[in-house]
Structure 1
């Protein structure tokens, strides 16, 4: 899980850097030639969304997501771990539900031939499928975190 989550986060970082580079190139081209990179908005929006989803599993696995512990800091450490394990299970249930719904959405967008609205009119079933995979991996990471916390 650690390796899969870290590889997905690295891929998300690479996609985000690519989107940032594309934005810079498009701005420079627009400045020099009055013509941006064709479809830059579509590509950057898809890339940025996928990049963010790529970071979720790693953040969950490392417990690096935002945690509000102001109500549990006074609890004994073992009890606080159990509370955190419970909320990790809730996070796992939510992300796995989202993964399932996105997987169905990917199949629906593929079947209907839905495309982005813009110059490139890209099919985006594949992006929804990648998002489903990212949420599924995040759910599995949350289950492992919950197990780790419950064991102590």
Structure 2
């Protein structure tokens, strides 16, 4: 019988929760900024300068912030149309393989984003309207994908050991 699964604990779980909370805060901030910009446009015919840049950065960071926590809590969509009849152990092994694929994809994305952050830092790339540097957002994306890869590895090992 599989052991009961509660909320994961430890440093990876703490990082995943922190990233998810930060993602939620970023999403809330983008919603408030959008509202403020629309009201300001209605009252003064002028939006908040650079609102689309800030909303793009905030929304992207929010989505990436949720990935590790979603992976850790296994809240992704699982489709078992063809494997539902198989024994649980076989399904756990199949899920472990796909979790490992996700680990690989998230790891590659983390590495590429880290490289991109270093390159945008060295080139001084900024947003068009506000002139904000972009390296930090790309670096946070790299951190989010690295945490997602580690969370996926947690499930790969757990499922491979038959404790899914």
TM band (smaller chain): over 0.9
CA RMSD in angstroms comes to 0.9
The whole-number CA distance in structure 1 between the counterparts of 2:160 and 2:127 is 44
The whole-number CA distance in structure 2 between the counterparts of 1:68 and 1:132 is 28
- Following TM superposition, by how much is the alpha carbon of 1:7 offset from its aligned partner in structure 2, in angstroms? 1.4
Alignment pair present for 1:151 and 2:161: yes
Alignment pair present for 1:31 and 2:56: no
Partner of 1:48: helix, strand, or coil? helix
Q: Which residue of 2 aligns with 1:136?
A: 146
Structure 1 runs (4+) greater than 3 angstroms displaced: none
Q: Which moved more, 1:77-86 or 1:33-42?
A: 33-42
Q: Which moved more, 1:28-37 or 1:40-49?
A: 28-37
In terms of fraction of residues, the more helix-rich structure is 1
Normalised TM-score (structure 2) = 0.89
Aligned length, in residue pairs: 151
The whole-number CA distance in structure 1 between the counterparts of 2:15 and 2:109 is 19
Q: Which residue of 1 aligns with 2:15?
A: 4
The whole-number CA distance in structure 2 between the counterparts of 1:68 and 1:122 is 42
Unaligned runs of 5+ in 2: 1-11
The whole-number CA distance in structure 2 between the counterparts of 1:7 and 1:113 is 28
The whole-number CA distance in structure 1 between the counterparts of 2:135 and 2:78 is 33
Unaligned runs of 5+ in 1: none
